[in-house]
């Protein structure tokens, strides 16, 4: 009897232990799965962006022949000057260049061929002659930007097996495309215009130059406003502020400001900067100031942390040598805290860089097809460009958005790397 | 003009710095200096630049409104409303700048002339006053340099005031936020009863739009009920937390208690990348990939799913929030003193039992604080919702339908050109202030909980 109980006890203990150990293992697995899920999200995300976006870095050209016929250009002069070439009529020449691809086509169907290239093809025809004036009167090969539908067909992003009436590219155009492709007259080259063109309504011409410059200007304005104020404020709060109610209030204020949703800053920019101070709408100046209000608390917090990390012995040594409080701070504490402050600043700016909502509110979503030269010209910014393009229904913009995201992420990675380098290279380790 | 003035002041300040330093070297030959020579320079430069710049800024801020009252004085007998007066003033300004294209009345022309005249007077007065101040303050400062007064202390006191002024910057931002929101929101609540706003269940501001004239008050009453938006906001935040809390918390626990050094070193920063990705990118991802994916799965199961479902937006938002919860809870758990763990192990508890029954309860306040911070983040998130969830405010608790949030509506209302004075525009500010209050409330609680928790184990 007793023996049996002992045996049961043993069994019970064994099972109980087994259960507990299983629970232990299960719990570990939950943790591993959670981390795995988080990493999977990141991987899927990156894969999606890259697989959709890499093709935007390729541009499709259609090669054809153009005859710079003086008569069609309406040039009378024997040896035309630059002005004559500038003012010539390129409509017919460009038109002929495209229709020569299929001479048998009846005239009223010509639009189908013209639609295969970007609507700016006339300008491209003109630019080639302006660059090489000796082409006048000759027949030369020319590269024309393919329309974004042909571009998508060439990249294989466009399904060809759906019924013709649901397709933006009709059977005839596909047939011409196939013929050109077989001849090797469809070229794929690195898409420089994606980086040098401003925004456009046509996907094949749209580029990020305007929004990129907008981003650069906003970040510079943001830096110019937030960095000095934040560093000075951090010095005061950490080194000079007396401990009283008012300092506490400032401190609570800063901490709460850091967690205010970004869109509220957009409302502030709209309600004060635009409505009260009448600053120019849609400009990087207003965008930068709005973002600087947002980054202010981030930089203050980082600067204070790195001031706090300077050991008191440094201050004591300086004071012992007869330096005043201000001299101790300005000559010793602040320079020693700079690496941490700078890396905090860069991280704050990187956050501001990805911000979209406040910029939309102050009007930086306006369609801008010029490249801004100063901070008071209307501009978009990279994240806003992503938003604008992703609202567009055209298929060609999907890859543009993904490519724009890649540029933005590259920018962010560079900034974060810079922050790391500043921190590790220049920061002193106090042990 | 202003630019020239400011450049002049700054150049003068630089010159006076060099002048002051040189002067100190001259003084040095006859008597003992009270401070390093450069402080003589700083002293002069500060006296030169600070008063003049302060006056300049004050002048620039107040000049326009003073000129405006002078101009509009002529119109007081015409019984005009505030908006009409504003319109007249804009016309006068445009006329004076030569950009006005409407028909010009005599009266308007007179005002424009007066405006130009006033501006001219104001400008020359500004220059004169600033020059006078420069001369006065520089001569005052130069006299004390000559007398060889103490130089370092005043300079340091001045610097301290500059530092103090900078720290007021953060307070100014807060005041700016509150003012800009309150100002428009109060005007909104004059047109729409606050009761209708907080408890109304229909949000459809577009229908109050009337070209020319006042919108129908009956319509207004029913168009600005914010309940669907509050509900949508918290519903999407709730979905986000359903994704983020389990994953974030478990990975935080794993990283702090189980993971080896190598795993921790790489996994932690990689997870934190998720927090560094801009929200507009998540929005694109949610709209283009997750939304259709959810719809497809739902359709395969025979459910009716909107292509802009709350589920897609919420889930993607949850992924964005994972790192907030994981790193905050990681920090909090690491802060739990080692002797609690040791005590538990000594009693024979396994690691997971220690985590569940000792560490988790001990760290709970900190974890709750971090979750509250994350909720406030989710409530204030804008771009994901704008791009992936609907823009129509449905009052629904079905995650497969589309809902809208406070932030999304603010964007929808304010995108493009806004007309100030329109109740639709003002409603965005009313939404903004409710958002500000909700997030402030969450933050204050979270920060005080976390602070108390830190103090407990320090």
Q: What is the mean pLDDT of residues B175-187?
A: 89
Q: What is the pLDDT of residue B407?
A: 92
Sign of the alpha-carbon dihedral angle for B17, B18, B19, B24: positive
Q: What is the pLDDT of residue A115?
A: 83
Sign of the alpha-carbon dihedral angle for B41, B45, B47, B48: positive
Q: What is the mean pLDDT of chain A?
A: 87
Higher pLDDT, A83 or A353: A353
Specify whether the CB–CB gap between B407 and B386 falls below 8 A.
yes
Strand order in the sheet with A186-190: A139-145, A58-67, A186-190
Q: What is the pLDDT of residue A188?
A: 86
The confidence band for A93, taking pLDDT boundaries of 50, 70 and 90, is confident
Q: What is the pLDDT of residue A348?
A: 93
CA B370 to chain centre: 21
**E-assigned strands of A20-96?**
58-67
Q: What is the pLDDT of residue A156?
A: 80
Cβ within 8 Å, pair B278-A24: no
Q: Is the pLDDT of residue B267 over 80?
A: yes
Q: What is the pLDDT of residue B219?
A: 66
Q: What is the mean pLDDT of chain B?
A: 86
Is residue B60 less than 8 Å (CB to CB) from chain A?
A: no
> Domain limits of chain B?
2-150, 221-456
Predicted model pTM: 0.87
Mutual orientation of helices A2-53 and A396-426 as an angle, nearest 10°? 110
Cβ within 8 Å, pair B167-A250: yes
Nearest to B173 among A293, A325, A357 (CB): A293
Q: Which residues of A touch B407 (CB under 8 A)?
A: 261, 263, 357
Is residue B46 less than 8 Å (CB to CB) from chain A?
A: no
Pure H helices in A241-381: 245-257, 262-268, 284-308, 312-320, 325-328, 334-353, 357-361
How many other β-carbons are positioned within 10 Å of the β-carbon of residue B452?
12
Q: What is the pLDDT of residue B81?
A: 73
Higher pLDDT, B3 or B221: B3
Question: How many whole angstroms separate alpha carbon B391 and alpha carbon B405?
Answer: 8
Nearest to B319 among A41, A261, A354 (CB): A41
How many other β-carbons are positioned within 10 Å of the β-carbon of residue B22?
13
Give the burial class of B213: count Cβ atoms within 10 A of its Cβ; 0-12 exposed, 13-18 middle, 19 or more buried. Answer: exposed
Least trusted range by pLDDT, from A328-337, A403-412, B185-194, B244-253: B185-194
Q: How many pairs of residues across A and B have Cβ atoms under 8 Å apart?
A: 246
pLDDT digits (tens, 9 = 90+) for A193-217: 889 888 888 888 888 999 999 999 9
Cβ within 8 Å, pair B380-A270: no
Specify whether the CB–CB gap between B237 and B378 falls below 8 A.
yes
Q: What is the pLDDT of residue B208?
A: 63
Q: What is the pLDDT of residue A174?
A: 84
Between the alpha carbon of residue B197 and those of residues B208, B260, B413, the distances in Å are 14, 53, 16
CATH code of the domain made up of B221-456? 1.10.3720.10
Cβ within 8 Å, pair B281-A33: no
Percent of chain A with pLDDT over 70: 98
Strand-pair partners of A143: A63
Task: Please report the domains of chain A, with CATH numbers, ordered by start residue.
Answer: 55-191 (no CATH), 209-426 (1.10.3720.10)
Contacts 24+ apart (CB under 8 A), B111-118: B111/B71, B111/B74, B114/B70, B114/B71, B114/B74, B115/B67, B115/B71, B118/B67, B118/B70, B118/B71
Residue of chain B minimizing CA distance to A275: B420
Q: Is the pLDDT of residue A34 over 90?
A: yes
Residues ≥6 apart with Cβ < 8 Å to B365:
B449, B450, B452, B453, B456
pLDDT digits (tens, 9 = 90+) for B74-130: 777 777 777 777 777 777 877 877 777 777 777 778 888 888 888 888 889 889 999
Give the burial class of A10: count Cβ atoms within 10 A of its Cβ; 0-12 exposed, 13-18 middle, 19 or more buried. Answer: exposed
Is residue B359 less than 8 Å (CB to CB) from chain A?
A: no
Q: Which residue is associated with the tokens 């001569």?
A: B139
How many other β-carbons are positioned within 10 Å of the β-carbon of residue B1?
8
Higher pLDDT, A15 or B155: B155
H-helix or E-strand containing B126?
A: helix B106-146
pLDDT digits (tens, 9 = 90+) for A285-317: 999 999 999 999 999 999 999 999 999 999 999
DSSP letters of B255-296?
Answer: IIII--HHHHHHHHHHHHHHHHS-HHHHHHHIIIIIHHHHHH
Least trusted range by pLDDT, from A156-160, A377-381, B266-270, B448-452: A156-160
Between the alpha carbon of residue A205 and those of residues A114, A208, A395, the distances in Å are 16, 10, 14
Nearest-Å Rg of the Cα atoms of chain A is: 32
In eight-state DSSP terms, residue A427 is: P
Q: Is the pLDDT of residue A241 over 80?
A: yes
DSSP helix/strand/coil, B31: coil
Cβ within 8 Å, pair B284-A401: yes
Question: How many whole angstroms separate alpha carbon B112 and alpha carbon B95?
Answer: 6
Percent of chain B with pLDDT over 70: 95
Q: What is the pLDDT of residue A364?
A: 85
Q: What is the mean pLDDT of residues A96-109?
A: 79
Q: Is the pLDDT of residue B57 over 70?
A: yes
């Amino acid at each position: 009897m007793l023996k049996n109980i002992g045996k049961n006890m043993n069994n019970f203990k064994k099972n109980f232990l087994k259960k507990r150990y299983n629970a232990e293992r299960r719990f570990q697995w939950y943790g591993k799965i959670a981390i795995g899920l988080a990493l999977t999200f990141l991987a899927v995300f990156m894969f999606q962006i890259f697989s959709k976006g890499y093709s935007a870095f390729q541009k499709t050209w259609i090669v054809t022949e153009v005859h710079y016929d003086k008569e069609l250009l309406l040039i009378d002069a024997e040896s035309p000057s630059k002005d004559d070439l500038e003012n010539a009529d390129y409509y017919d020449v460009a038109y002929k260049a495209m229709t020569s691809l299929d001479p048998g086509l009846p005239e009223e169907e010509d639009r189908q061929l013209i639609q295969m290239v970007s609507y700016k093809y006339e300008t491209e025809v003109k630019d080639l002659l302006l660059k090489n004036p000796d082409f006048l009167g000759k027949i030369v090969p020319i590269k024309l930007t393919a329309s974004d539908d042909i571009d998508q067909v060439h990249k294989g992003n466009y399904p060809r097996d759906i019924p013709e009436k649901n397709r933006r590219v009709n059977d005839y155009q596909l047939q011409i495309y196939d013929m050109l492709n077989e001849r090797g007259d469809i070229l794929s080259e690195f898409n420089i215009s994606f980086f040098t063109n401003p925004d456009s309504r046509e996907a094949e011409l749209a580029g990020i130059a305007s929004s990129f410059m907008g981003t650069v200007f906003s970040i510079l304005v943001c830096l110019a406003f937030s960095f000095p104020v934040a560093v000075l404020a951090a010095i005061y709060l950490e080194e000079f502020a007396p401990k009283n109610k008012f300092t506490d209030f400032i401190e609570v204020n800063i901490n709460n400001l850091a967690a205010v949703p970004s869109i509220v800053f957009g409302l502030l920019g709209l309600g004060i900067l635009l409505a009260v101070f009448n600053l120019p709408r849609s400009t990087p100046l207003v965008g930068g100031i709005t973002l600087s209000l947002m980054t202010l608390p981030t930089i203050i917090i980082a600067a204070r942390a790195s001031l706090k990390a300077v050991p008191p012995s440094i201050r004591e040594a300086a004071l012992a040598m007869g330096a005043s409080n201000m001299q101790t701070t300005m000559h010793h504490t602040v320079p020693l805290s700079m690496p941490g402050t700078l890396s905090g600043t860069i991280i704050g700016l990187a956050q501001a860089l990805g911000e979209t909502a406040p910029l939309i509110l102050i009007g930086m979503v306006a369609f801008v097809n010029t490249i801004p030269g100063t901070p008071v010209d209307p501009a978009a910014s990279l994240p806003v460009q992503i938003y604008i393009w992703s609202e567009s229904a055209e298929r060609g913009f999907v890859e543009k958005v993904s490519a724009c995201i890649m540029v933005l992420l590259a920018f962010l990675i560079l900034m974060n790397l810079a922050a790391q380098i500043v921190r590790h290279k220049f920061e002193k380790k106090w042990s | 003009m202003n630019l020239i003035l400011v450049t002049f002041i700054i150049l003068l300040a630089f010159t006076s710095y060099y002048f002051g330093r040189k002067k100190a070297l001259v003084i040095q030959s006859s008597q003992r200096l009270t401070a390093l020579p450069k402080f003589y320079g700083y002293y002069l430069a500060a006296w030169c630049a600070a008063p003049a710049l302060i006056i300049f800024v004050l002048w620039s801020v107040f000049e326009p409104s003073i000129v405006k009252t002078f101009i509009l004085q002529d119109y007081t007998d015409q019984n005009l409303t505030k908006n009409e007066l504003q319109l007249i003033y804009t016309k006068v300004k445009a006329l004076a700048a030569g950009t006005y294209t409407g028909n010009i009345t005599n009266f308007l022309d007179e005002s424009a002339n007066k405006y130009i005249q006033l501006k001219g007077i104001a400008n020359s007065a500004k220059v004169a006053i600033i020059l006078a101040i420069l001369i006065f303050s520089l001569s005052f400062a130069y006299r004390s340099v000559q007398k060889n007064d103490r130089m370092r202390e005043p300079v340091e006191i001045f610097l301290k005031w500059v530092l103090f002024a900078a720290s007021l910057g953060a307070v100014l931002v807060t005041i700016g936020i509150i003012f800009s929101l309150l100002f428009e929101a109060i005007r909104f609540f004059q047109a729409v009863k606050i009761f209708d706003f907080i408890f109304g269940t229909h949000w459809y501001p577009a229908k109050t739009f009337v070209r020319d004239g006042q919108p129908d008050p009956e319509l207004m009453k029913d168009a600005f009920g914010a309940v669907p938006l509050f509900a949508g906001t918290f519903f999407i935040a709730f979905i986000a937390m359903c994704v983020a809390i389990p994953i974030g918390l478990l990975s935080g626990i794993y990283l702090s208690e189980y993971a080896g050094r190598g795993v921790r070193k790489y996994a932690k920063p990689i997870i934190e990348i998720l927090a560094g990705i801009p929200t507009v990118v998540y929005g694109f991802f949610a709209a283009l990939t997750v939304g259709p994916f959810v719809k497809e799965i739902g359709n395969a199961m025979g459910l009716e799913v909107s292509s802009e479902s709350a589920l897609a937006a919420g889930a993607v938002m949850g992924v964005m929030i994972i790192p907030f919860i994981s790193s905050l809870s990681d920090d909090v758990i690491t802060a739990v003193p080692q002797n609690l763990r040791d005590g538990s192990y000594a009693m024979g508890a396994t690691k997971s039992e220690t985590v569940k029954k000792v560490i988790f309860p001990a760290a709970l306040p900190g974890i709750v604080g971090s979750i509250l911070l994350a909720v406030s983040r989710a409530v204030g998130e804008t771009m994901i919702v704008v791009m992936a969830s609907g823009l129509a405010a449905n009052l629904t608790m079905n995650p497969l339908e589309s809902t809208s949030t406070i932030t999304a509506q603010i964007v929808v209302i304010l995108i493009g050109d806004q007309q100030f004075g329109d109740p639709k525009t003002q409603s965005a500010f009313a939404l903004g202030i409710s958002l500000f209050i909700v997030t402030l409330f969450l933050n204050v609680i979270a920060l005080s909980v976390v602070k108390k928790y830190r103090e407990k184990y320090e």
